[in-house]
């Protein structure tokens, strides 16, 4: 017997019902993006490794899926290189391409390549899959969709404000209660400066970003391993564990960071975003969280993360400001800010909380039972009228036992069936059966359409 097929760990198949739910997510996010003036683009699944490498930090580079060159990729290698068994070095020799890790770096590449065609500020959104060679676990997949929105070519903090409004609007539509967490990389740089470890800003932010996952003690251990002094770590504790209202946190930071110009700039930016949002009537809470670091190296200003309040799962949206990303592709001076909705985690949250509206997952509304050749020919004509009226309908393709056809309707949760026999054909009508109540009505095609609409 043939072995049962399987799929790679960290990937998933999606059934028709699951795809209906996923499309509800994508369509909701897409509609909100359109509401705020964003336009859609797409980029290839694979990018040149030279585009991807060095943009996500050392940890991110390790998680890139590399694509093996076609042809005789060993021909350019020496025996010494082959025998060295140096996987990283060998991969660089015969892998020129990789699957995209996120949508932001490919977007930066797109902006540079198409700069002559783009009107700035450029507001784009992108809904496509990304791949990470990560260890699969609950809520963490190797293949997953991101739903990004970015604005490039504008330094205005009004862009940050709008993106937070988008986040609030989307999760309000979904009915998911969330906490929107914000911070600023300039604040983190200021903290590194006043504790005397400016050159270790990346190490500090990568470690702090793991606070939720590994706890304070393990974060401190990681900081020590990176060569940060015990004195500096001690100074860091009260800052990263700062509590109180957003206003109280900002007031404390102004005192703590008084000697750091960059730190105060971060406080000023955060204060503007929070004050502006406070009068806009957001439905969800927004919190200044100094433990939020967003480990990616390219963030330079405001950073965001969204946590679901009623489900234990990682962040379901994230993003931030990056002032120099296009510079690595030869186009400096273009500032950008963006967010990314994690569609797969949102899918899991909506499932756990059973928040999908019924109409979002309904497929076929009406099934015509097939009693034979003449009845099917009569039904097809009415079926065309029903579909023209926007009603999702189908006919069972084979004339067979009614029990089988009814079972088909039940398995697909089709709420109505249309019965057409000799009496119905003589009267030019259809018997409509409600599958939930069992109620039956004899209707003209127009009455049938009105009833279902």
pLDDT reported for residue 263: 94
Q: Which two tokens stand for residue 1?
A: 């017997």
Q: Which two tokens stand for residue 89?
A: 């070095």
Stretch (H or E) spanning 322 = strand 317-322
Question: CA-to-CA distance for 245 and 253, rounded, in angstroms?
Answer: 12
pLDDT reported for residue 75: 67
Mean pLDDT confidence for 230-241 = 81
Mean pLDDT confidence for 60-77 = 79
Q: Which two tokens stand for residue 124?
A: 């784009």
Question: CA-to-CA distance for 148 and 115, rounded, in angstroms?
Answer: 19
Mean pLDDT confidence for 193-213 = 79
Mean pLDDT confidence for 320-329 = 84
Stretch (H or E) spanning 431 = strand 430-434
pLDDT at 349 over 70: yes
The phi, psi pair for 56, rounded to 5°, reads -120, 5
Longest dimension (CA), the chain: 93
- Quick one: DSSP state of residue 200? G
Write the CB contacts of 229 (distance below 8 Å, at least 6 apart in sequence). 196, 197
pLDDT at 161 over 90: yes
Q: DSSP letter string over 116-163?
A: TTPPSSEEEEEEEEEE--PPPBTTB-SEEEEEEEEEES---THHHHHH
- pLDDT, greater one: 263 or 363: 263
Question: CA-to-CA distance for 127 and 26, rounded, in angstroms?
Answer: 8
Residue where the block lists tokens 């979904």? 174
The helix/strand/coil state of 418 is strand
Closest CA to 98 of 56, 66, 53: 66
How would residue 399 be classed by pLDDT, with cut points 50, 70 and 90?
very high
pLDDT reported for residue 2: 79
Question: CA-to-CA distance for 115 and 435, rounded, in angstroms?
Answer: 57
The helix/strand/coil state of 422 is helix
The answer, as to whether pTM is greater than 0.75, is yes
pLDDT reported for residue 297: 65
Complete edge-to-edge strand list for the sheet that includes strand 285-288: 39-40, 122-131, 143-152, 336-342, 317-322, 302-308, 178-184, 285-288
List helix spans (H) across 367-432.
373-388, 402-411, 422-427
Mean pLDDT confidence for 317-338 = 87
Mean pLDDT confidence for 333-337 = 90
pLDDT at 213 over 70: yes
Question: CA-to-CA distance for 372 and 405, rounded, in angstroms?
Answer: 13
Note the pLDDT tens digit of each residue in 266-304.
Answer: 999 999 999 999 999 999 999 999 888 775 567 899 999
How would residue 239 be classed by pLDDT, with cut points 50, 70 and 90?
confident
pLDDT at 212 over 90: no
pLDDT reported for residue 139: 65
pLDDT reported for residue 238: 78
Mean pLDDT confidence for 132-147 = 87
Question: CA-to-CA distance for 438 and 432, rounded, in angstroms?
Answer: 10
How would residue 339 be classed by pLDDT, with cut points 50, 70 and 90?
very high
Stretch (H or E) spanning 433 = strand 430-434
Note the pLDDT tens digit of each residue in 355-396.
Answer: 998 878 778 999 999 999 999 999 999 999 999 999 999 999
The helix/strand/coil state of 274 is helix
**Sign of the C-alpha dihedral computed for residues 285, 27, 103 and 322 taken in this order:** negative
Average pLDDT, the chain: 90
Write the CB contacts of 221 (distance below 8 Å, at least 6 apart in sequence). none
Please check whether residue 53 is in contact with residue 329, taking contact to mean a CB–CB distance below 8 angstroms.
Answer: no
How would residue 89 be classed by pLDDT, with cut points 50, 70 and 90?
low
């Amino acid at each position: 017997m043939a072995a049962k097929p399987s799929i790679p760990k960290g990937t998933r198949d999606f059934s028709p019902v699951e795809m209906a739910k996923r499309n509800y997510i994508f369509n909701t996010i897409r509609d909100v993006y359109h509401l705020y003036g964003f336009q859609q683009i797409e980029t290839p699944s694979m990018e040149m490794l030279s585009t991807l490498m060095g943009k996500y930090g050392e940890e991110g580079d390790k998680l890139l899926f590399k694509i093996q060159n076609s042809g005789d990729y060993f021909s350019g290698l020496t025996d010494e290189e082959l025998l060295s068994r140096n996987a990283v070095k060998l991969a660089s020799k015969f892998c020129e391409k990789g699957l995209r890790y996120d949508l932001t770096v490919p977007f930066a590449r797109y902006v540079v390549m198409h700069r002559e065609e783009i009107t700035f500020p450029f507001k784009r959104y992108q809904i496509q899959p990304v791949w990470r060679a990560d260890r699969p676990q609950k809520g963490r997949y190797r293949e997953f969709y991101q739903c990004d929105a970015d604005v490039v070519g504008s330094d205005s903090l009004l862009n940050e404000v709008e993106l937070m409004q988008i986040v609030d609007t989307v999760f309000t539509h979904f009915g998911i209660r969330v906490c929107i967490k914000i911070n600023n990389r300039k604040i983190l740089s200021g903290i590194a400066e006043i504790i005397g470890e400016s050159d270790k800003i990346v190490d500090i932010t990568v470690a702090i970003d793991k606070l939720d996952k590994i706890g304070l003690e393990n974060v401190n251990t990681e900081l020590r391993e990176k060569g940060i002094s015990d004195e500096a770590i001690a100074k860091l504790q009260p800052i990263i564990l700062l509590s109180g209202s957003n206003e109280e946190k900002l007031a404390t930071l102004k005192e703590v960071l008084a000697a750091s110009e960059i730190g105060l700039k971060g406080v000023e930016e955060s204060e503007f975003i929070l004050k502006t949002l406070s009068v806009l009537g957001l439905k969800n809470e927004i919190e200044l969280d100094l433990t939020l670091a967003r480990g990616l190296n390219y963030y330079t200003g405001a950073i965001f993360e969204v946590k679901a309040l009623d489900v234990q799962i990682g962040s379901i949206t994230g993003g931030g400001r990056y002032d120099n990303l296009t510079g690595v592709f030869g186009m400096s001076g273009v500032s950008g800010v963006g967010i990314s909705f994690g569609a797969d985690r949102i899918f899991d949250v909506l499932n756990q909380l059973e928040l999908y509206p019924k109409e979002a997952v309904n497929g076929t509304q009406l099934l015509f039972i097939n009693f034979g050749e003449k009845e099917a020919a009569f039904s097809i004509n009415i079926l065309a009228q029903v579909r023209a009226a926007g009603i999702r309908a189908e006919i069972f393709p084979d004339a067979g036992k009614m029990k089988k056809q009814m079972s088909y309707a039940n398995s697909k949760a089709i709420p109505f069936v249309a019965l057409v026999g000799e009496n119905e054909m003589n009267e030019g009508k259809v018997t409509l059966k409600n599958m939930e109540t069992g109620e039956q009505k004899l209707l003209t095609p127009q009455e049938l359409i009105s009833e279902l609409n």
